[in-house]
Amino acid sequence: MRYLHTMVRVSDLDASLDFYVNKLGLEEVRRMENEKGRFTLVFLATPEDAKRIRAQGSTQLAVESPAIELTYNWDEKGYAGGRNFGHLAYRVADIYAVCQKLMDGGVTINRPPRDGRMAFIVSPDGISVELLQKGDALPLVEPWTSMPNSGSW
């Protein structure tokens, strides 16, 4: 398992970038605009990680380096009840095996890996944890493909 990023929802992307980049000193390493979903993701890394990413010229390294993911939902007007903190993310070697082990241990899979790529669980304190398959998505298999979502994440 490898730590990937922590997601934080922001209500003003410019103000957030001013804080994290201009004041805290993080550097933007990747950005994704999603017109259909109406959101922008901005990944920020420490100067040391950003330098390593640029030196290797790898977009994959930008995906895999520890980062903060700023998520700006274009239509959101404000966050209440702690909704601005999103989730922790970890890359795993076999998402099906990890989810099965978690289920066997009594953990609810809130968003099953129906796509062979992504799942969500929630900690006892309500912190969402995203699990992402290393490399390409695994072939779609049961019981995962037909397993419904449970609760929220």
| Active site amino acids | 130
- From residue 138, alpha-carbon distances to 10, 73, 92, 113, 135 in Å are 32, 29, 12, 9, 9
DSSP output for 47-110: HHHHHHHHHHT-HHHHHHS-EEEEEEETT-----TTTTEEEEEEEES-HHHHHHHHHHTT---S
